[in-house]
Amino acid sequence: MPAAELALVARSRGVATHLLSREALESLAAATDVASLVHGLARMRADLEPAGDPPDLAAFGLSVDRTAGRHLRTLLRWQRTQPGVLDVFVADQERRSLRALLRGALQGAPAAARLAGLLPTPALPVAALTELARQASPSAVVAHLIALGYPGAPRLLPLVNRAQPELFAIEVALLRGLAARAGTAARLGDAVLRDFVHERLDIGNTQNALLLAGGPRDIDPGDAFVAGGRWLPPHAFVAAAASASRQACLVRLAAALAGTPLARMLPVVADDVTFPERTLLTSTMARLARDARLRPLGTAPILRVLLRIEAQSRDLRTLAWGVALGAPPAMRRQELVTPWH
């Protein structure tokens, strides 16, 4: 690895020292309200942006987002190879963000729900995500993206300017965008980075197969497959997507992925769309911990810190919403994804 990239490995280890441990997050699950959650973080001297006084749920979420954005900007300043590992991570985060924002606009979800779990990036900072979450329709979201100069917006425009925007077509376009953005960096990177991209494209294809199953037959499943994964071949995707129901699709996907790392990432219930992403995050962090010990100067330690930034953001939001909804502390702890070590 070039000396410039060694500096990125060192900087990522420095950022890791500013992230909360699993033990700290577990202890915060006993908070009785958002104010006590913030005070608990202050007692730990947690490296979080100010949450206001008195803090509320919205202000705390903004604090979490700004903290994650700051950590990411710190690491981006140290990346010297273009495209590199951070570009892959950013592309994946922006695909997740646009997916949530467009789906939320189509379904009329509250702005706060659309923003849950999203990580700001240089192209989509906190202010941009917040404004995008307020848009009343998918076409308004894309119009705002174009006004921001977001590079991927033009290819979404014909999909959202229909009388009835198709969620499935949007999902496929976003996954193709990820494949295009991350593909070059994956080819230039090490095996760890290639596996990272392969798994995300495989999971995206499984999610799209579940969306297509049981739906209208005017869509050719073969046209919806996005190349670039490893474990789900095109013929298995087509067979699963052509199933008469989502549960039948899930059975076919499970058979096709048996014996692969993706097998344990499939949900038990076909409509549980969050399970694959959550499981992918936890399993990838565990694998990267092993890879980082074997190759401490490779991509693995950088990627693991990036995913820990994502995990911390998710967990802090989970704890805050758990307080707001009155969930028992034990339930809040069960939802945490930050690894123990």
pLDDT of 52 reads: 81
| Same domain, yes or no: 195 and 289 | yes
pLDDT at 220: 84
Q: Among residues 139, 171, 188, which one ends one of the domains?
A: 188
Residue 247 lies in a domain: yes
- Shared domain check, 77 and 2: yes
Final residue belonging to a domain, choices 173, 188, 203: 188
The reported pLDDT for the residue numbered 1 is 54
Q: Is residue 209 part of a domain?
A: yes
Residue 321 forms part of a structural domain: yes
Note every long-range contact of 232-240, with CB atoms under 8 Å and residues 24 or more positions apart, other chains counting. Answer: 232/202, 232/205, 232/206, 232/256, 232/257, 232/262, 237/205, 237/209, 240/206, 240/209, 240/213
CATH of the domain at 221: 1.20.1690
Say whether both 51 and 115 belong to one domain: no
Structure confidence at residue 143 (pLDDT): 96
Residue 186: predicted pLDDT: 81
pLDDT at position 154 is 93
Domains held by the chain: number: 3
250 and 262 share a domain? yes
In a domain, 323, yes or no: yes
Q: Are residues 78 and 89 in the same domain?
A: no
Q: Within this chain, do residues 282 and 328 fall inside the same structural domain, yes or no?
A: no
| In a shared domain, residues 72 and 27 | yes
Q: Look at residue 110 in the predicted model and tell me its pLDDT.
A: 92
Q: Is residue 301 part of a domain?
A: no
305 found inside a domain: no
From the number of C-beta atoms within 10 Å of its C-beta (0-12, 13-18, 19+), residue 15 rates as buried
Instruction: For the chain, 341 residues long, give each residue's pLDDT as a single digit of tens.
Output: 554 578 889 999 999 999 999 999 999 999 999 999 999 999 999 999 998 888 888 899 999 999 999 999 999 888 766 668 899 999 999 999 999 999 999 999 999 888 888 899 999 999 999 999 999 999 999 999 999 999 989 999 999 988 777 888 899 999 999 999 998 888 888 899 999 999 999 999 999 999 888 876 677 888 999 999 999 999 999 999 999 998 999 999 999 999 998 888 887 766 676 777 888 899 999 999 999 999 998 899 999 999 999 999 999 999 999 999 999 999 999 999 999 98
DSSP state of 161: S
Q: Is the domain of 216 the same as that of 169?
A: no
Q: Which of 165, 188, 211 is a domain's end point? A: 188
Long-range Cβ pairs for the range 213-216 (8 Å, 24+): 213/240, 213/241, 213/242, 213/243, 213/244, 213/245, 213/246, 213/248, 213/249, 213/270, 214/243, 214/244, 214/245, 214/246, 214/248, 214/249, 215/168
Q: What is the CATH number of the domain that holds 5?
A: 1.10.132
Domain match, 176 and 205 both: no
204 and 172 in a common domain: no
pLDDT value for 273: 65
In a domain, 283, yes or no: yes
Which residues are CB-neighbours of 93 under 8 A, at least 6 positions away? 118, 119, 121, 310
- Residue 119 belongs to domain spanning: 85-188
pLDDT of residue 258: 95
Separation of alpha carbons 308 and 45, rounded Å: 18
Q: CB under 8 Å to 223, separation ≥6 — which residues?
A: none
Instruction: Decide if 303 is inside a domain.
Output: no
pLDDT score for 216: 67
What pLDDT, on the 0 to 100 scale, is given for residue 81? Answer: 62
Could you tell me the two tokens for 117? 């779990």
